[in-house]
Amino acid sequence: MSTVAAAHDDHDHHHAPTGLKRWLFSTNHKDIGTLYLWFSFAMFLAGGFMAMIIRAELIEPGMQFVDPEFFNQMTTVHGLTMVFGAVMPGFVGLANWMIPLMIGAPDMALPRMNNWSFWILPFAFAILLSSVLLSAFGHGNPSAPNFGWTFYAPLSTKYGPASTDLFILSVHMMGISSIMGAINVIVTVFNLRAPGMTLMKMPLFVWTWLITAFLLIAVMPVLAGAVTMMLTDRHFGTSFFDAAGGGDPVLFQHVFWFFGHPEVYIMILPAFGIVSAIIPTFARKQLFGYASMVYATASIALLSFVVWAHHMFTVGMPLAGTLFFMYMTMLISVPTGVKVFNWVATMWRGSMTFELPMKWAITFVILFTCGGLSGLMLAITPVDFQYHDTYFVVAHFHYVLVSGAVFTMFAAAYYWLPKWSGVMPSKVLGELHFWNSLISVNLLFFPMHFVGLAGMPRRYADYALQFADYNFWISIGGFWFGLSQLFFLAVCLQCALKKGEKAEAKPWDGAEGLEWEVPSPAPFHTFDTPPVVK
């Protein structure tokens, strides 16, 4: 590959910004990436705290801690915070940091827009979370959004609390932020690749993010449309979703899930990219089937536009429609399977070591496969009539989102923290974080399969007695998992404060890629002169 003159960071063209202004007015992809990552982690803890309240209430039958109304607010805002606040910005943060480094670009293509797309987010979440604070300290009245993160009409329109308007505004802002972030990724990848970095030489993380960015641009406007229709239904006398005015509540679900299903892949495709970077590094063996990985990612993305109604099998669709969506959904497991097989084949006859990033990555492959297989079960429509809206679904999407998306972000953090901070993450804290998370996440989510199959509907503030035993253990797993994340907080602080063993430019001996050719920590400006990729 190329050689990079480390001397570049010395002749800084700009005066080095410091203090608050460094962060507020930043146009530097690394600083903005850092902001995104800290924001994402803060939202992860906030959303996690709400999950703790949910699990506290569900630890035994009966209503002990919160009102069912407040319970619904918690499930709703937990979902919104995790999806839009933790997972999506987390991956945008990783994209900001890593895409320019991986393709040999000096920065993102549109740095000012980059700044804006981040700084919208804290305001969007201040608006959303203000309603929760008002609700929590105002004894449940006024209410925060309480209609589930899927905000089905008419529960969110005619019956929504006043704070629904805050929610709509904040979703609009998140959407603007996501679209700008996506445009930035696309423009950067298409225009700023180093000479010789052809598309089919790009690291898979860049590929998956490129495809994700197209998904974002395609579906975020659909979400914006859905919330705008809600807004006009609520205040301007339209009846998009109100049957009494000639509208259609099911239309809402079609529009929402036309956004919502690609959204699911927006949250997992970058994860595939991260794992495809880490496994070859620690197996010391080239990624198996690079081209088929790219094609599989693209097919998953395309298929994601024709499966949305599998979230709505019980709304009473015509038989032909139901069959179509069942077949398409089952089809998605083929390219997903290809990915899993490729990762296994990459490990096969490699020379593996199990540093922290690799531990998280292998855990991802196994637990994501669990989530994928329960996803295949959910695709079988007649059985979905039983599974739908039970804890089985909750188990499924937490397996793919927590032990899927979130675990790869941990993997990415342990993998690239040396590059970001210049110090190695603490092994002791990291191991504690990993093993506690691994055990507790399964205690937390695996029994959810059982209560779901046994018939416990999701979003239930209280439940029948036969679900009590598993729920107790699920709650214990929940608190354990929640507390385990404090180890990660300690790791992040340790690296941010630059305490610990100094990292080399390439701390992992099997790693490949341009990002390892700049020093650790990566200097403020990199690749002012593009490297040449051969």
Partner 1 sequence: MQSTLFHRMAVGLTSLMISGLATASDWAERSDHNLRPGVTAVAQEIHGLHNTVLWIVSIIGLLVFGLILISVIRHRRSKHPTPATFHENIFLEVLWTIIPFIILIAMAVPATRVLIELDDTADSELTVKVTGYRWRWGYEYLTYQDDNDVGVSFISSLATPPEQYENPVLSGGLFPYGTAKDRVGAPSQDKDHNYMLEVDNPLVIPSGQKVRFLVTSDDVIHSFWIPDFGGKKDAIPGFVNETWALVPEGQEGTYYGQCAELCGKNHAFMPIEVKVVAQSEFQEWLAQKKEEAAAAPDLTPFESLDAAMEVGEKVYAGQCALCHGQNGEGGIGLAFAGSDFATKSEHLEEHIHVLLEGRNAMPAFKGQLTPKEIAAVVTYERNAWGNDTGDLIQPEDVHEEE
Is 46 a binding residue for partner 1 by CB under 8 A? The answer is no
Site for partner 1 in 324-343 (CB under 8 A): 326-327, 330-331, 333-334, 337-338, 340-341
Site for partner 1 in 414-453 (CB under 8 A): 450-451, 453
459 is known as an active-site residue: no
- 95 or 411: CB nearest partner 1: 411
Q: Which of 137, 200, 237, 534 binds partner 1 (CB under 8 A)?
A: 137
Of 88, 85, 6, nearest in space to 50 by CA:
85
Q: Which of 469, 483, 497, 499 binds partner 1 (CB under 8 A)?
A: 469
> In whole angstroms, what is the distance from residue 384 CA to residue 381 CA?
5
Is 190 a binding residue for partner 1 by CB under 8 A? The answer is no
Stretch (H or E) spanning 20: helix 19-24
- 298 or 380: CB nearest partner 1: 380
Site for partner 1 in 47-66 (CB under 8 A): 53, 59-66
In whole angstroms, how close is the CB of 255 to partner 1 at the nearest point?
Answer: 15
Is 473 a binding residue for partner 1 by CB under 8 A? The answer is yes
Residue span 4-43 as binding mask against partner 1, x where in contact by CB under 8 A, dash where not: ----------------------------------------
Q: Which of 9, 69, 504, 512 binds partner 1 (CB under 8 A)?
A: 69
Cβ(305)–Cβ(341) below 8 Å: no
- Mark 142-168 as b/e (b = at least 16 C-beta within 10 Å): ebbbbbbbbbbbbbbbeebbebbbbbb
310 is known as an active-site residue: yes
459: amino acid identity, one letter: R
Site for partner 1 in 354-413 (CB under 8 A): 354, 362, 365-366, 369-370, 373-374, 376-377, 380-383, 385-386, 388-390
473 is known as an active-site residue: no
Is 322 a binding residue for partner 1 by CB under 8 A? The answer is yes
Of 326, 174, 310, 304, nearest in space to 253 by CA:
310
Residue 512: other Cβ atoms inside 10 A:
16
201 is known as an active-site residue: no
- 169 or 380: CB nearest partner 1: 380
> In whole angstroms, what is the distance from residue 23 CA to residue 477 CA?
37
In whole angstroms, how close is the CB of 91 to partner 1 at the nearest point?
Answer: 25
Give Cα 222 to chain centroid, integer Å. Answer: 19
178 is known as an active-site residue: yes
Is 169 a binding residue for partner 1 by CB under 8 A? The answer is no
Of 149, 127, 137, 173, nearest in space to 73 by CA:
149
> In whole angstroms, what is the distance from residue 117 CA to residue 64 CA?
41
Instruction: Fill in the DSSP letter of residue 243.
Output: G
Is 154 a binding residue for partner 1 by CB under 8 A? The answer is yes
Size of the site for partner 1 (CB under 8 A): 109
Is 67 a binding residue for partner 1 by CB under 8 A? The answer is yes
What is the end-to-end Cα distance of the chain in Å, rounded?
6
Site for partner 1 in 227-256 (CB under 8 A): 242-244, 248-250
Neighbouring residues of 499: CB distance < 8 A, sequence distance ≥ 6: 423
Cβ(100)–Cβ(107) below 8 Å: yes
Residues annotated catalytic, as ranges: 78, 107, 149, 177-178, 261, 263, 265, 276, 310-311, 336, 339, 458
